[in-house]
């Protein structure tokens, strides 16, 4: 069980769900493993719990820390509810499936399908990067197809990073955590707070008036792919904007990966938004053709793991 400050204890009943354990927590939310009392199915519950704005009361409710944080807390709660509503309408094999949402404890909860697996950051840390080209071309094209549907529906993700990419058995990717979900062509002023993930957020996302778009999510995808290769996040985009001393992937990693893959990663990570791919479709066309989808699980009970077979050098 994850040790997350302020999380609800196992056995807590919320609406029609009973919490079994805490799965994860971040600055804005806590995720629980729970059981649906009606169906007996296992689900994931995501609770709006911004630790810098609110705290847990003795009765389980989530309350603002002060009068000063109350307005931001309420605004964030509204945005969280909008996130749940938006995600419930998006159905794609590579986007987390939201099945419902409800209010309780003076906050909001999102109900999601629970799927076995581990996030991409787990594998990057375990292998120190060096994930193979075959692996990248199995994971990222279907992930990008899901992202394209998000964009076509009029939304942006704005927090793509290895920790928000879940790998199910067979290496099938799932895009998680839409805490920064943002409707396109709407002013960002008045938002409860911008989600910034150093190394993955593009420069325009740091600015209150920054013009974000599909190109912003594509930067994060490129940074995530480079992290799979290098084993560590790139420098913050604001630092690169002032002085970009990051060596192009096409130069640094050309011994182990194809020129086409590395040039696509460099294109996605252009600091200037106008120089990046402007759509997912553009970026997909720049990638090499993906390898056939695997049939084996990432970590079967015995024998070499699927991931291990894909982390060898691409040209070895």
For residue 47, give the nearest of 105, 117, 115 by alpha carbon.
105
Residues 46 and 89 in one domain: yes
For residue 303, give its domain range: 118-310
In this structure, is residue 315 part of a structural domain? no
Measured CA to CA, the distance from residue 64 to residue 52 in angstroms comes to 9
Out of 86, 113, 140, pick the residue that ends a domain: 113
C-alpha atoms less than 13 angstroms from C-alpha of 105 in its C-beta half-sphere: 22
pLDDT at 3: 78
Position 316 pLDDT exceeds 50: no
- The percent of residues in the chain predicted with pLDDT above 90, rounded, is 70
Residue 177 and residue 205 in one domain:
yes
Higher pLDDT, 45 or 181: 45
Asked if 143 contacts 135 with a C-beta cutoff of 8 angstroms, the reply is no
Tokens of 163: 């920790």
Average pLDDT, the chain: 87
- Asked whether residue 316 is domain-assigned, the answer is no
- pLDDT value of residue 285: 97
Q: Do both 128 and 83 map to the same domain?
A: no
Name the pTM for this structure. Answer: 0.84
Q: Angle at CA 34, nearest 5°, toward 28 and 38? A: 130
How many domains does one find in the chain? 2
Position 26 scores a pLDDT of 75
Q: Of 113, 139, 170, which residue constitutes the final position of a domain? A: 113
pLDDT value at position 6? 87
* Statement to judge: residues 109 and 128 lie in one domain: no
26: Cβ contacts below 8 Å, ≥ 6 apart: 177, 179
Q: How far is CA 227 from CA 31, 200, 222, 273, in A?
A: 25, 9, 9, 20
Same domain, 101 and 165: no
Two structure tokens written together for 148 = 């394209």
Query: How large is the average pLDDT for residues 184-208?
Result: 72
């Amino acid at each position: 069980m994850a040790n997350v400050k302020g999380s609800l204890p196992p056995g807590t009943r919320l609406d029609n769900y009973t919490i079994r354990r805490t799965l994860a927590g971040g600055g804005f939310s806590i995720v629980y493993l729970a059981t649906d009392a009606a169906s007996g199915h296992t689900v994931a519950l995501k609770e709006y719990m911004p630790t810098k704005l609110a705290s847990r009361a003795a009765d389980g409710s989530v309350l603002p820390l002060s009068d000063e944080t109350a307005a931001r807390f309420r605004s964030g709660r509204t945005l969280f509810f909008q996130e749940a509503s938006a995600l419930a309408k998006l159905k794609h094999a590579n986007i987390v499936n939201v099945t419902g949402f409800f209010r309780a404890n003076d906050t909001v909860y999102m109900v999601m399908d629970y799927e076995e697996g581990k996030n991409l950051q787990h594998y990057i840390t375990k292998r120190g990067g060096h994930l193979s080209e075959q692996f990248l071309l199995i994971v990222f094209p279907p992930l990008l197809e899901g992202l394209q549907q998000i964009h076509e529906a009029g939304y942006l993700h704005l927090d793509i990073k290895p920790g928000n990419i879940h790998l199910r058995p067979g290496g099938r990717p799932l895009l998680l955590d839409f805490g920064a979900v943002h409707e396109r062509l709407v002013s960002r002023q008045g938002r409860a707070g911008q989600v910034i993930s150093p190394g993955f957020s593009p420069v325009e996302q740091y600015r209150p008036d920054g013009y974000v778009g599909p190109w912003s999510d594509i930067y994060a995808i490129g940074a995530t792919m480079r992290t799979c290769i290098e084993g560590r996040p790139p420098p913050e985009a604001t630092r690169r904007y002032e002085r970009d001393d990051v060596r192009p992937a096409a130069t640094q990693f050309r011994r182990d990966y194809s020129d086409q893959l590395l040039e696509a990663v460099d294109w996605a990570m252009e600091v200037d938004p106008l120089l990046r791919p402007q759509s997912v479709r553009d970026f997909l066309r720049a990638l090499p053709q993906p390898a056939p989808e695997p049939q084996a699980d990432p970590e079967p009970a015995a024998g070499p793991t699927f991931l291990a077979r894909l982390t060898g050098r691409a040209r070895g």
